[in-house]
Amino acid sequence: MKAREEAGAAVPISAVERETGLSKDTLRMWERRYGFPTPVRDQFGDRLYPQQQVEKLRLIRRLMDQGFRPGRIIGENYHALLELLNGTPVVEEFNHDTFVADLLRMISEHRVPELRAALQSRVQNMGLRHFIVDLAAPLIRAVGEAWFRGELAIFEEHLFTEVMQNLLRKWIGEARNTELRAPRILLTTFPNEMHQLGLLMAEALMTMDGAECVSFGIQLPIADITKAASAHRVDIVALSFSQNYPRTRSNDGLIELRRALPPGIDIWAGGAGVSRIKRVPDRVAVIREMTDVGVEIARWRQKADHSHSH
C-alpha cells in the first residue's frame, strides 16, 4: 500500500527507457552504484519510477549528451542540474565539505592571507546571500567543533572569528550601497552574550534586503536597548542568542524588553540559543532559519503598507 501511494504517477522501467533514452541496464546499475534512481515496487515486485525521478533522469541524460559523467552529476538535486544545463555560473567543482576542511587547515596552519582570499573568492563565486545561508553557518560550526575537540587552539579560533567579522563588516558595507528603506533594525545581544557572528550574518542579509540596520555590537543592557531604540526610531530590535546562552536569561530578558519597548517596535530573536525554545514570550518573533530573514522583512513591509492604506 505504502509503495503504491508513494508511486503516484509512477511509470514502469520500459517507459523510463523510452522517455529518457537510458537503458534498463543503466537504470538498474545506477540504482546499485549511486543509490539513484530509487524506484518503488508494484505488487509483482517490478520497478515503478515516480515522475519526479523521471524528470531528473531526463536532465541527467541531457547533461551526459553535453559531456558530463553520470557519477559527477547524479547526486545533485534537480535545481542544480537545471542550472548546469542552462549554463549558469558553474558551481559544479565546488564541494562544501572539502571547502570547510581546506579552511580548517588554513586556520591551523596559520595561513591567514590565504584564508581571507579563499573566503572572499567564495563570496564572489556564490554571492553573499548563498554564502551566508549555505556555507558560513556550517563553517563556523566546524570551527567551534574543532576547537571543542582541541584540534584548534583558542588563539586560532579567535583569529578565524576576527577574519570572519572583518570580512562580514566589509561585505555589509558593500551591500549598503543599495537603496535602504524601512524597516530600520537595531541589532545587538544581551549582556553576557559575546558571540557576534550570527548577528553580523543577520545584518548582512537584512542589508541586502534593503533594510536599514543600526548595529550596537554585543552586550547592550536592556535599559540601553530601549533608549537606543527610541533615539534611532527603529521599527525592530533584533537580538542574537548563541547555543551557550542560558534559556531562563533569554526568556526573562525578552519579557523585560517587551515590557519596556513601545508596542509599535517589534522584537526579533535569532540564533541557536532561541531557535529551540518551546514557549516564546508574547509578541516576540523567533527567527529559526537565516533564510527566514527575507520572509520576515517582506511580511513586515506588507503589514506596514497595509496599516498606511487604512
Task: By CB under 6 A, name the one of 145, 151, 173, 232 that touches ligand B12.
Answer: 145
Return the closest-CA partner of residue 188 out of 159, 213, 205: 213
What's the rounded Cα separation, in Å, for the pair 100 and 135? 8
Helical ranges in the chain per DSSP H: 2-7, 13-20, 24-34, 51-65, 70-73, 78-85, 96-108, 112-126, 128-130, 137-148, 154-175, 197-208, 222-231, 247-260, 272-275, 292-308
Count the residues of the shown chain that bind ligand B12, applying the rule CB under 6 A: 32
| Exposed / middle / buried, residue 190 (Cβ in 10 Å: 0-12, 13-18, 19+) | buried
Q: Which of 2, 278 has the CB closer to ligand B12?
A: 278
Q: Is 141 in the site for ligand B12 (CB under 6 A)?
A: yes
22 binds ligand B12 (CB under 6 A): no
Stretch that binds ligand B12, among 29-37, 40-48, 96-104, 269-277 (CB under 6 A): 269-277
Kindly state whether residue 202 participates in binding ligand B12, applying the rule CB under 6 A.
yes
Nearer to ligand B12 (CB atom), residue 51 or residue 244: 244
Sign for the CA dihedral angle at 117, 214, 261, 296 comes to negative
Q: Does 161 bind ligand B12 (CB under 6 A)?
A: yes
268 is a contact residue toward ligand B12 (CB under 6 A): yes
Q: How far is CA 64 from CA 6, 34, 75, in A?
A: 28, 16, 14
Q: Which of 169, 275, 277, 294 binds ligand B12 (CB under 6 A)?
A: 275
- For residue 183, give the H/E element and its range: strand 181-188
Contact between 240 and ligand B12 per CB under 6 A: yes
Q: Check residue 235 and report its DSSP letter.
A: S
Decide: 84 and 68 in contact? Cβ < 8 Å.
yes
CA 115/CA 103 separation, integer angstroms: 6
Q: Report if residue 244 touches ligand B12, rule: CB under 6 A.
A: yes
Binding residue for ligand B12 (CB under 6 A) from 232, 243, 302, 303?
Answer: 243
Taking the complex as a whole, how short is the minimal distance between the CB of residue 205 and ligand B12, in angstroms? 8
- Taking the complex as a whole, the smallest distance from the CB of residue 16 to ligand B12 amounts, in Å, to 39
Contact range with ligand B12 by CB under 6 A, out of 11-19, 104-112, 167-175, 287-295: 287-295
Stretch that binds ligand B12, among 8-16, 115-123, 140-148, 247-255 (CB under 6 A): 140-148
Minimum CB separation from ligand B12 for residue 133, in Å? Answer: 8
Q: Dihedrals φ, ψ of 219, to 5°?
A: 60, 55
Nearer residue to ligand B12 within complex by CB, 50 or 198: 198
**Which residues have a Cβ under 8 Å from the Cβ of 86 and sit 6 or more positions away?**
none
Q: How far is the CB of 159 from ligand B12 (least distance, A)?
A: 11
The reply to whether 183 sits near ligand B12 by the rule CB under 6 A is: no
Q: Given phi > 0 = left and psi -120 to 50 = alpha, else beta, which region is 233?
A: left
Could you list the residues that contact ligand B12 (CB under 6 A)?
A: 137, 140-141, 143-145, 148, 157, 161, 192-199, 201-202, 238, 240, 242-244, 268, 270-272, 275, 287, 290, 293
